[in-house]
Every structure is written in structure tokens, then in C-alpha cells.
Chains A and B, each alone.
Chain A
């Protein structure tokens, strides 16, 4: 046992390692007569001088990095919220956020860009095909319009009204002579339309006179698949009867 009263004088100071050893010894003395905890011993063994040096240099490096980050262009003018005790948690998070997620953010942008590119490719492809279908349809309507214009009549998009093989022309439409001629000529071929078959025609009070109705019937005659004709409140004269 070493007496606690026998302290070394200041004139002959021992080297610092002696104090450390003394401290260790004192610590060990505290556990004198008792079994030292295993965790304590392992911790003591692991904490060697090499480890201490490593932790010290690592802490210095971290401080240097943080200093550099604070002095970047983005945060130069901003207060040091991260190390400011007065700053809120939100400020701290905000001050660090752009740098933590910069790689992830670029990845997201790249993914979004690729998705948009794929989407635009599909849109372009669809537009190209749709345009092709419309071209055939337009050709038919162009002929229809030309026929109607010869009679100074405003053509109606009647052929587009064929749905599920049925053409229904409601009373709001007045079928004039030009339209009926256009009708007669255009019904010969419906290949350009989405509906290439015409099974049924319904004319509801379209103010058709005998001649006009006759033209329409001539058009319908060109359709071999036609099976049903319904006419409501239209004129039937000699021409139509013929």
C-alpha cells in the first residue's frame, strides 16, 4: 500500500506518464479486494495510445470539413445554424439538407428525365399512327365537302355520325341538296372511316324533300350490308318512291 500523504514535491516533478500510471493504480485500488468488471477491463485495454491518436486526428478532420462546408458558396452568407445553440432543429436540418441529398437528388432528376423521355416517345408514336388514320378519313370527308360545296351548301360531318353501324341524323340537322349529293357519293366507300359498315339509318325530321331523300336513298343503296331504314317526318314523293 502506498500512503496518500507521501506526495512528490514540485521541485522534482515526475514525468507525466508517472501520473497516468498513478491514476491507473489509484483506480485499481478503488476496486481493491474486488473483482474488476469485465467491460471495464476490455475498455481499458482497447483504449490504447494508437486509438487515442486516431480519434484525435479524426475529430480534427471532421472539424476542418465542417468549416469548409460552412464556407462554401451556398452557406457563406448564412449564419452557422448547425452549431448555433439558439438555432432551432429545423434550421439545423435545413442547413445540412442540400448536401446530404445531393447525390440522391441527381439520381431522381435522371430518373424523372428518363421517364419523361419514354412518355414523349409513346406520345409521338401514337400521334404518328393517329395522324395516319385521320388522313384516310380526311380524304373521304374532303370528297364529301367538295360535293356539298358545288351546291353552295355547308357540309355536315354526317359520316362521322355512324356509330356501331348505325347512322342517326337527328332533327337538329337539315339535310340540304348538296349534302344529300355528297351523301350519295361518299357512301360508296366508307373504308377511310372507323366504321366501315352501315347497317341502319335513322332520319328524324331533317326537312328532306322528295329529291333530297331520293339522293340519300341512292347513297344507301350502295351499301350491300344495309338492312334497316327508319324515316320520321320526311317527305316521300315520286323521286323517293322511284
Chain B
């Protein structure tokens, strides 16, 4: 998402229950992955695919995110294991919402 690239000061992005095709979602996740300033990320009920979730978890591992909300997405036990591993490296996360996964 060029918007995220063009906004180096963007600190909060919440996309909640938005209809998004997989290709567009890929672009968004890719843009998020490049963001440095993002502190709060919420992707509630965005029907994230397995690949997107993996990219996101990889981003969480190295990012400065403080607030993560990925509730209402289809996360498997494998995804949760990856997420826990990623959180071992992350020292900034203060809030994590995994409701209704």
C-alpha cells in the first residue's frame, strides 16, 4: 500500500471488517512490512490467508509494534506457535488481541 510508504509518520493503522481481495491484502501486508513508524496495528476480521499471516508474524518479530490486534482471523495452532516464537524476539509489544481466532 503506497499510502503507508508515503506516510513515514503513520503510527496507527486499523482496518476492521473491510472487504479486501487477496491480492490487495498482499500489497497491504507488504507495505506494513516496510513500515518503521507503525506502533498500533489492527487487522480485525480481514480474512488473512496463511501466507499473509506468516508475513505478518515475520514483521512482528522485527517491528516496533506496541499494539497488535488480529482477532476474528483464521489462525491455526501452527500460526500461534510461530507468533509465540516471534514474540520472544519482540520487546515492544504491550497489547495482543487474539479473540475469536
CB–CB B28/A236 < 8 A:
yes
| Interface residues in A191-242 (C-beta closer than 8 Å to B) | 200, 210, 217, 220-221, 224-238, 240-242
Residues of B within 8 A of A (CB): 1-3, 6-7, 9-21, 23-25, 27-28, 40, 42
Q: A217-B3, A235-B18 are in contact. Are A230 and B24 (CB under 8 A)?
A: no
**Minimal beta-carbon separation of B9 from chain A (angstroms):** 6
- The number of residues on chain A lying at the interface, defined by a beta carbon within 8 Å of a beta carbon of chain B, is 23
Main secondary structure of the interface of A (DSSP, over half): mixed
10 shortest interchain CB distances as A-B pairs: A228-B12, A241-B24, A236-B20, A241-B27, A230-B14, A227-B11, A232-B16, A233-B17, A235-B19, A217-B3
CB–CB B11/A231 < 8 A:
no
CB–CB A229/B18 < 8 A:
no
User: Could you list 17 A-B pairs, sorted by A, with CB under 8 Å?
Assistant: A221-B3, A226-B9, A227-B11, A228-B10, A228-B11, A228-B12, A228-B13, A230-B12, A231-B18, A235-B20, A237-B21, A238-B23, A238-B27, A240-B1, A241-B1, A242-B2, A242-B27
Q: A221-B6, A221-B7, A224-B9 are in contact. Are A232 and B18 (CB under 8 A)?
A: yes
CB–CB A238/B11 < 8 A:
no
Q: A225-B9, A237-B24, A238-B23 are in contact. Are A230 and B1 (CB under 8 A)?
A: no
Chain A residues near B24 (CB-CB < 8 A): 210, 236-238, 240-241
| Complexed CA–CA distance, A236 and B16 (Å) | 11
Chain A residues near B12 (CB-CB < 8 A): 200, 227-230
**Minimal beta-carbon separation of B18 from chain A (angstroms):** 5
Residue in B closest to A233 when the chains form the complex, CB atoms: B17
CB–CB A231/B16 < 8 A:
yes
**Minimal beta-carbon separation of A183 from chain B (angstroms):** 14
Chain A residues near B16 (CB-CB < 8 A): 230-233
Residue in A closest to B5 when the chains form the complex, CB atoms: A221
Chain A residues near B17 (CB-CB < 8 A): 232-233
Extra inter-chain contacts (11) besides given A221-B3, A226-B7, A226-B9, CB under 8 Å: A210-B24, A220-B3, A220-B7, A227-B11, A228-B11, A228-B40, A233-B16, A236-B24, A238-B23, A238-B24, A241-B23
